[in-house]
Structure formats: C-alpha cells, structure tokens
Amino acid sequence: MENSPTSPGRHLSLRAPLLFEHPLNERTRTLLRISRLFEQIDSQREQQTPWQSRSALQALLDIATILARADIKTEMIKQLDQHAKSLEKVATNPDVDQDRLQRVLDDIDHTAHRLHGVTGQLGSRLRKNEFLAGIAQRMTIPGGSFEFDLPQFHYWLHLPHHQREEQLDQWLDEISVVRDAVELLLGLLRHGTLPRDQLARSGNFQKSLDPQRPVELVQVSLDPALGLFPEISGSKHRLNIRFMSCSDWEHPTATRQDVPFTLKTCVI
C-alpha cells in the first residue's frame, strides 16, 4: 500500500534538496550515463591543468565506448517518436500552450532527423581515431596512460590550454547530436510529471505502478540534513525505496525513522 503524503513544509533545513535519479530500464540508464559523462566534460574542459584535460578526455572516451552499442541510435529515434505521439494526443486540450507544444515537437522532429542522418554507429569517427584509440586501450590498464606509456598523450596534455580546448571541441562536435538527443529525451521525461511529497514510514516506502504506463525514471529528493540516502528498486508493477544511513562509510544500515521526501515517477 502506498504511504500517505507528508504535509507541506516538513523540510528540516533551507539547504537545497539532494536529488537521486534511478532508471527503471536499461535504455534510461544508458541516457543517464551519457548525460553524466557530458557533465563531467563540461566541469573539466575549461580548466587549465593537464589533470582536468585528462578527466575530460576520459569522459569523452567513455561516451564513445557506450555508443559502440549498435542499437543506441535506433533506440533514441524510437523514444523520440514515442514522445511525439504522446504529445500529439494532448494537442486538442485547450489548456495546453500550443506555441510551446509546437516548439517541443519541432525539436523532436529536428533531432530525430539529425540522428537519421548519421551514417553508421554513433561516435564511430572517435573510435577510429588512432590517437584516441591508443589512449582508450591504455586507460583500461590501471596507471597505464602516463608519459612512459603514451608520450604523445603527455605531449598533448601539456599543449597550451586553448589548443587542448579547441581540440576537445572538435571531438565533441562529432557527437553533438548525441548530446542534444540525450538531453531532449531526459528533459521530456523529467518535466512530464509533477513531484509529490511523501513519507517513508520507518524508512520504507512502496508504491504500486501502472504496468500500462511503465515508469522510466524515478526521482527522489530529500533534505541532506537527514544524513540518509535511498536504495531504489522497481519493476513495471511496483516501486520500492529504502532509506539508509552511512555513518561509518563501511556498513550502511536501514534507518527506522520516518523520512519525508519528494517523489517523481517519470513516464513517456
């Protein structure tokens, strides 16, 4: 049975809520992984030191590896089509902002067209680049990508920062459509549902889900002052959340306190 919502205003502090996102299928998990890696690149690419450039390039290579899956392009086009069909169904609703709806539909159509225009697998040019391929191969070895193994990489890392940044931008341009598609799909998921305040009694929460409208993504927000984190699991029928304490950073334990949090279940 679903736990009853909390009353408004039960937040413990004025600190920003801590957000946890959990995918309920593999395709959404892949989108989240790619999105987080682009965030890593953004946080590092404009920094001056070689260590930040190394981190940005590592994230770029991780994205290229994920994109080697043959079905990702097809899957993203399929998801965009699903979103377009869902949005077209609400077009006759007089309460819908028609201009905004049309802009979203145009974005979906434009992004799908760009994906269709990519020949072969996404990111294939990055994986065929001999310089990048050599780095990717050595990075699978712990400590295997330093100057005594990859002198050319060491040389690149010590070029003037603006040259490294320009080169990273060129490589990123080759997968710009991937970034646009991922952020559009995640944005449609995240903003298609309103959050609700909930209470996990004795640290546990369960919710029945509609199997006819499978949940793709779960968002849990809670006050960081609680000192807790959620363990989230689920299927198309049921969602389970257990809140854990990690005071010793070695043996997390389930809390027995009532936990107020905000829940969003995102569907296409």
Domains of the chain: 18-25+193-267 (2.60.440.10), 29-187 (1.10.3900.10)
- Give the pLDDT of residue 97: 82
Which residues make beta-bridge pairs with 234? Answer: 239
Cα 179 to chain center, whole Å?
Answer: 11
Distance between CA atoms of 149 and 200, rounded to whole angstroms? 52
- Tens-of-pLDDT digits for all 268 residues of the chain? 444 444 444 445 567 999 999 999 999 999 999 999 999 999 998 888 999 999 999 999 999 999 998 789 999 999 999 999 988 888 788 888 888 899 999 999 999 999 999 998 999 999 999 999 999 999 999 999 999 999 999 999 999 999 999 999 999 999 999 999 999 999 999 998 899 999 999 999 999 999 988 999 999 999 999 999 999 999 989 999 999 998 778 889 999 999 999 999 999 8
Please identify which residue in the block is written with the tokens 């050599």.
134
User: What is the three-class DSSP state of 155?
Assistant: helix
